[in-house]
Amino acid sequence: MMNIGSGFTHLEQITATLDMPCMSTRMYDKLHDEICEAWEQTSVETMKNAADEEKALAVTDGQVDANGVPLITVVADGSWAKRSYHSNYSSLSGAAAIIGYKTKKVLFLGVRNKYCTICKIAERANMSLTKPHKCFKNWTGSSSSMEADIIAEGFSKSLEMYGLIYDKLIADGDSNCYKRVLDAHPYEDVIVEKIECKNHLLRNYSRKIRDLIKDTSAGPLVLRKQIQQNQLKLPWAISKAVSYRKSENIEFTQKVEGLKKDIQNSISHIFGEHKDCQNIRYFCNKPYVAHGTTMSDLKMTGRVVL
Ligand SMILES: [Zn+2]
Ligand SMILES: [Zn+2]
């Protein structure tokens, strides 16, 4: 029941419809706690196993610091949802996870809640709670900072939990996660490095292109229409170039250089100019066309800086 977000009331309704006797609330709560505990236990074990896998891979690849502590790259992301408990009350809760880049398995999970039903009922009835309860409220800060708080906590605990250092963080461009992680000073001798997530960058790129198409002050309509017709190709070209460069059997720095050229040339290629296509060669063999292309029209607006 709890997996689909339902509780005892729903169970009662379903069993009544089926003309089946229902368990008592007390029994339900007991079973609920048992399952929750087992679930938590399993998640702790699974995350520990994932951390061991990451550790072994790092050691094999020689990625350890001066003291022999394995260094790993992690991906972090979170979400927060507005959930309404009563018609006149809405509350917020957020979750985030840290995932090992190599194994793609979860290493750390966290939840922040600004709401606890029992506290709220007591507060509303203006009474003080005499018995202790399992309180779910563990956050009083802003909703948007929940994610960063969870991720910073995961970094701070990585040595103690797994004997691992998360030395590179892949996260989206606009979150304040990275700053929180740096402020937490999780490691004595290692400064966590941030790697921008390709998916987030391309999403931002696509959004900027869409804004440009709609912006009437951004240039003549004919050209904005041309951009609109090619709006999917622009991020797609970069995505394809990333895959190609990744598969090349050369030094990492050379791959980066190659990708840089691909990105700079992508607009010229798509709009018919093919400036460096013959140089780069692997995806297009067309010669450079200096005049009469959409690209030359775009350049004439004086807004294209390449
Ligand atoms: Zn509470
Ligand atoms: Zn081309």
pLDDT tens-digit readout, 244-273: 999 999 999 999 999 999 999 999 999 999
Residues 249 and 150: their CA atoms lie apart, in Å, by 38
| Cα of 262 from ligand 2 centre, angstroms | 10
At 15, the pLDDT band (50, 70, 90 cuts) reads very high
Q: What is the DSSP letter of 282?
A: S
Residues 280 and 181: their CA atoms lie apart, in Å, by 39
| Cα of 138 from ligand 1 centre, angstroms | 9
| Cα of 137 from ligand 1 centre, angstroms | 6
Q: Which bound ligand lies closest to the C-alpha atom of 293?
A: 2
pLDDT tens-digit readout, 206-238: 999 999 999 998 889 999 999 999 999 999 999
Of 91, 94, 95, 93, give the one whose Cα is nearest residue 123: 91
| Cα of 276 from ligand 1 centre, angstroms | 63
Buried b (16+ CB within 10 A) or exposed e, 157-183: ebeeebebbbbbbbbbeebebbebbee
Residue carrying the six token digits 């140089």: 279
User: CB under 8 Å to 180, separation ≥6 — which residues?
Assistant: 145, 148, 149, 151, 152
| Cα of 133 from ligand 1 centre, angstroms | 6
| Cα of 83 from ligand 1 centre, angstroms | 17
pLDDT at 86 over 50: no
Lowest mean pLDDT among 60-74, 80-94, 188-202: 80-94
| Cα of 251 from ligand 2 centre, angstroms | 25
Q: Where are the beta strands (DSSP E) in 87-226?
A: 89-100, 106-113, 165-171, 193-196
Of 143, 162, 54, give the one whose Cα is nearest residue 99: 54
| Cα of 261 from ligand 2 centre, angstroms | 12
| Cα of 127 from ligand 1 centre, angstroms | 13
Question: Beta 106-113 vs 89-100: how paired, if at all?
Answer: antiparallel
ipTM of this complex: 0.62
- Per-domain residue ranges of the chain: 2-196, 199-300
Q: Tell me the residues surrounding ligand 1 (ion) with CB < 5 Å.
A: 116, 118-119, 135
Q: Which bound ligand lies closest to the C-alpha atom of 123?
A: 1
pLDDT more than 70, % of the chain: 92
